[in-house]
Structure 1
Amino acid sequence: EPNIDEVVQTHEVFANVSKGQLAKKSELFQDFETEDVEEIILKLLQEGEIPVSEMERKSISESLSRDIAKIISEKCVNTETNRPYTVTMIEKMMKECHINLQPNKSAKHQALKAIEKLMESGKYKIKPAMMEIVISLDPKIVEEVSPKILLHVHHITRQGLNSEGIFEMKAVIEQKDYHFLTGTLSEVAKNRYCVEILGAARPEQTSGGKRKPPPSSHSSSVAPIPELTSSIPEEESSEVVSLPPSSKEEPEKAPTRGGGGGGVDSEDDEYAQAAKPIEKQQKKANRKRKNRTYVNDEEDVGA
């Protein structure tokens, strides 16, 4: 703001604001080496510090401490379980390790320094978490660059061409090796690579602890790309396989009733034999019914 009247409420310099006591000219000259009030006001605006109350200072300190602890929780894990610590546990570690906070420095910078102090103390089972990254390469330089990448990464989880024809390698790497990897790629691959940090690796991806040795040859380090196969189905064979005479099915013969035909198969014979008793019972019942009807008719006539 060029207009100083829009910034200050009064063109005066106070020795004690709460009491309304103005600073004497001798005090101004002693502190600022000048008695020009306008010049002193500009200097205070550019180099002065805003007075902060005790409550505000405590709130700022707690907020900064929590931000630092959150960054440490995201970047570090337990050495035994490979699981991250909670923010509350990190804050407790920082207090026990007597880590001093500096309000004029960023939380990320102080978090990196705090990680070093926590590891150097030897009291806590803490280490930097591994990172999950994706390396994109020009397919033409994969054979040349891949063996050098394997020297810096912990292990590779996936590799192959993406939909755009770019070779992608998804890997897990330790934080301390990241700068060595990018330096190697800048020397070997020039501007034909890209590295993307996905975040902290999941615990199941870092199990094992030790770096997996790179394969002895490139053919075993980079999985071969499967060849495209034609989707057109093959023509069916026109050859006809003839069945042996014994396997040809004979046409079924229509069953005939009676005993002299000889064309009824075994199933029809069994059915006919099973039905004979039933037919006899039905004929016997019909004869009884006819006899009963004949007797009734005679009685009606006699009456």
Structure 2
Amino acid sequence: MSKGELQVSEKERQSCLDSQLNSIVNSVAALCVNPETRRPYSASIIEKSLKDAHFSVKMNRNTKQNTLEAIKMLREHLPIERSRMKLRVSFAGKEGGGKLKESVVKLANTVEHEEWDEATLHLTLLIDPGQYRVIDELVRNETKGKGLLELLELKEVVESEELF
């Protein structure tokens, strides 16, 4: 105590690790889907896969950093990917025209819908969550604040019943 260090018992340390791991598993389950079926994995499957991959929680990192590390590790053991976001980008054709449209479409995984409304272009896109900021800055800078970026769905997941 005189050196300013607080000793933590083994049970307390294990409890902290378990709660951190549980938080990471739930985050991965919320953020990721099976790429073939577009359906989410259950927390128990993710937890088992993390144990099979010998994932260990790093206590000096926050939950988000550990979650991203877990997703990278899971990719080697399980078909998994981040669920895509659905965005709607709107801007006047004269603002960025073909150049802005071309840049935004390159960053998107798929273009679901493209529509011209008078002189305004509306694009509905599916993107990886890591591309959101890039697209936001691109639209804001190219249109000088006149473009519009709407988040339609935070994660694109198929939640239908399967018949066996």
Question: Do they superpose with TM above 0.5?
Answer: yes
Paired residue for 2:73? 117
Q: Residues 122-201 of structure 1: matches in 2 within 5 Å?
A: 123-137=77-91, 141=95, 143-144=97-98, 145-153=100-108, 154-157=110-113, 169-197=123-151, 198-201=153-156
The structure-2 alpha-carbon separation of the partners of 1:160 and 1:203, relative to structure 1 and needing over 3 Å to count, comes to farther
The amino acid across from 1:201 in the alignment is E
Paired residue for 1:78? 34
1:177 CA drift (Å): 4.0
Q: Residues 264-303 of structure 1: matches in 2 within 5 Å?
A: none
Q: Residues 86-105 of structure 1: matches in 2 within 5 Å?
A: 86-105=42-61
Q: Deviations over 1:169-209 (max 9, x none)?
A: 432113354454345335422333343443111338xxxxx
Paired residue for 2:16? 60
Paired residue for 2:162? none
1:76–1:127: 8 Å Cα contact kept in structure 2? yes
Which blocks of at least 5 consecutive residues in structure 2 are unaligned? 160-164
Distance 2:144 2:71 in 1: 33
Backbone CA RMSD of aligned residues? 3.0
Which blocks of at least 5 consecutive residues in structure 1 are unaligned? 1-12, 15-39, 205-303
Q: Deviations over 1:205-264 (max 9, x none)?
A: xxxxxxxxxxxxxxxxxxxxxxxxxxxxxxxxxxxxxxxxxxxxxxxxxxxxxxxxxxxx
The amino acid across from 2:80 in the alignment is I
Q: Which one has the bigger strand percentage? A: 2
Q: Which one has the bigger helix percentage? A: 1
1:106 CA drift (Å): 1.1
Identical aligned residues as a percent: 23
| 3-state SS, counterpart of residue 203 of structure 1 | coil
User: TM-score scaled to structure 1, two decimals?
Assistant: 0.43
1:65 CA drift (Å): 0.8
Q: Select the structure of larger CA radius of gyration.
A: 1
Distance 1:95 1:129 in 2: 22
1:142–1:167: 8 Å Cα contact kept in structure 2? no
Misfit runs of 4+, over 6 Å: none
| Number of residue-to-residue matches in the alignment | 154
2:111–2:123: 8 Å Cα contact kept in structure 1? no
| 3-state SS, counterpart of residue 7 of structure 2 | coil
The structure-2 alpha-carbon separation of the partners of 1:103 and 1:160, relative to structure 1 and needing over 3 Å to count, comes to farther
The amino acid across from 2:111 in the alignment is H
Q: Deviations over 1:64-85 (max 9, x none)?
A: 1111112211222112211110
The structure-2 alpha-carbon separation of the partners of 1:203 and 1:111, relative to structure 1 and needing over 3 Å to count, comes to same
Paired residue for 1:69? 25
1:132–1:200: 8 Å Cα contact kept in structure 2? yes
Choose between structure 1 and 2 for higher RCO, CA contacts under 8 A separated by at least 6 residues: 2
